[in-house]
């Protein structure tokens, strides 16, 4: 792979301080990169996801692409939160800014606010799409695949919800520490329910866990899952409209993170907003 000069920045997202939260690499000056090159750069950084800015500075909306080490995603949360903070840091002139990000299939409205030493960014994930609920037999199959016992179950159904990426929300009342993907073809099982990933959610503590579909990498803080999880909690009347709350994630991999959530309701319609704090860690330059 031949690289022209590509600038990148390391940031920590949903982080209370530097070297916490979910790490992210933001690449820019990327318009000439191929998909394979972006995959290889993401693999080089060994993070759950990377985001690439494809448009020139000052162009709105900002065109961006998101990659895991295995594939391109049409939507993801913590890369967008990190990107909004980067745009504020590089191009912002006021304390608060608005940004429009164009992904492959979704346009996302973002805001950013300068704090003392970090930036808080927020994304509007729009109205949630409630795709479907699992039967009890289907829930039992999912529980077995996730190493969860019947004692862990809550009185709420497992449900597939999307705010850009379909998540199977698996509500439990206890035992989140035992959750793991324990079968080899979990992605196929999820696809049967029109879900891309799973999110195990303790509905008592509002703590969540998710992994890549091989179960080999646990994500630290997942903004694309926080939206569906927030919509799920709101539908179950566990949170109130127009009142902020937090979902915790990452404690089982030593990176405790907080995802701020808000379900706005107005005239019978709802929107999910997810926000978090972003700390810049380092600048890196790749070249030929």
pLDDT digits (tens, 9 = 90+) for 83-115: 999 999 999 999 999 999 999 999 999 999 999
Mark whether 228 and 118 lie in a shared domain: no
Mark whether 52 and 63 lie in a shared domain: yes
Q: What is the pTM of this model?
A: 0.93
pLDDT tops 70 at residue 214: yes
Considering the chain, what percentage of its residues have pLDDT values greater than 70? Answer: 98
What are the two backbone dihedrals, phi and then psi, of residue 20, each rounded to the nearest 5 degrees? -140, 180
- Count: domains in the chain: 2
Q: What 8-state DSSP symbol labels residue 189?
A: H
> How many helices (DSSP H) and strands (DSSP E) are in the chain?
5, 16
Quote the pLDDT of residue 267: 84
Quote the pLDDT of residue 189: 98
Mark whether 185 and 214 lie in a shared domain: yes
CA atoms 84, 88, 91, 97: torsion sign? positive
Structure confidence at residue 156 as a pLDDT band (50, 70, 90): very high
Mark whether 38 and 105 lie in a shared domain: yes
Write the CA distances from 212 to 217, 251, 269, integer angstroms.
Answer: 6, 17, 32
CATH number of the domain where residue 247 is located: 3.10.310.10
Quote the pLDDT of residue 25: 98
Quote the pLDDT of residue 286: 84
Q: Which domain holds residue 23?
A: 6-124+277-286
Q: Are strands 96-102 and 107-114 parallel, antiparallel or unpaired?
A: antiparallel
* 216 contacts: CB under 8 Å, gap ≥ 6: none
Mark whether 91 and 158 lie in a shared domain: no
- Residues 265 and 255: their CA atoms lie apart, in Å, by 32
Q: Are strands 269-286 and 22-28 parallel, antiparallel or unpaired?
A: unpaired
Instruction: Locate 208 and state its tokens.
Output: 């969540």
Bridge partner list, 283:
9
- Residues 42 and 24: their CA atoms lie apart, in Å, by 10
What are the two backbone dihedrals, phi and then psi, of residue 77, each rounded to the nearest 5 degrees? -90, -55
- Mean pLDDT value of segment 20-46: 94
Structure confidence at residue 49 as a pLDDT band (50, 70, 90): very high
Mark whether 189 and 264 lie in a shared domain: yes
Structure confidence at residue 196 as a pLDDT band (50, 70, 90): very high
- Mean pLDDT value of segment 151-174: 97
pLDDT digits (tens, 9 = 90+) for 220-259: 999 999 999 999 999 999 999 999 999 999 999 999 999 9
Report the phi/psi class of residue 164: left, alpha or beta, with left for phi > 0 and alpha for psi in -120 to 50.
left
């Amino acid at each position: 792979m031949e690289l022209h000069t590509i600038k990148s920045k390391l940031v920590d997202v949903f982080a209370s301080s530097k070297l916490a939260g979910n790490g992210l690499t933001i690449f820019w000056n990327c318009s000439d990169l191929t998909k394979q090159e972006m995959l290889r750069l993401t693999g080089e950084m060994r993070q759950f996801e990377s985001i690439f800015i494809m448009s020139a500075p000052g162009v709105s909306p900002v065109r961006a692409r998101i990659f895991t080490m295995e594939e391109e995603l049409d939507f993801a949360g913590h890369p967008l939160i990190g990107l909004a903070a980067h745009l504020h840091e590089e191009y912002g002139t006021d304390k608060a800014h608005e940004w429009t990000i164009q992904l492959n299939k979704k346009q996302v409205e973002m805001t950013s606010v300068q704090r003392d030493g970090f930036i808080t960014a927020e994304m509007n994930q729009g109205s949630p799409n409630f795709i479907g609920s699992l039967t009890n037999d289907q829930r039992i199959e999912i529980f077995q695949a996730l190493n969860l016992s019947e004692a862990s179950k809550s009185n709420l159904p497992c449900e597939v919800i999307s705010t850009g990426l379909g998540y199977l929300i698996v509500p439990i009342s206890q035992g989140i520490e035992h959750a793991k993907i324990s079968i080899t073809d979990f992605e196929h099982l999820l696809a049967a329910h029109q879900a891309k990933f799973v999110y195990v959610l303790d509905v008592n503590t509002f703590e969540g866990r998710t992994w890549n579909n091989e179960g080999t990498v646990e994500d630290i803080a997942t903004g694309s899952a926080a939206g569906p999880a927030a919509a799920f909690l709101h539908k179950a009347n566990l949170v109130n409209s127009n009142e902020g709350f937090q979902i915790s994630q990452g404690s089982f991999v030593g990176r405790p993170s907080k995802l701020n959530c808000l379900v706005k309701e107005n005239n019978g319609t709802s929107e999910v907003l997810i926000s978090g704090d972003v700390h810049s860690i380092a600048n890196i330059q790749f070249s030929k």
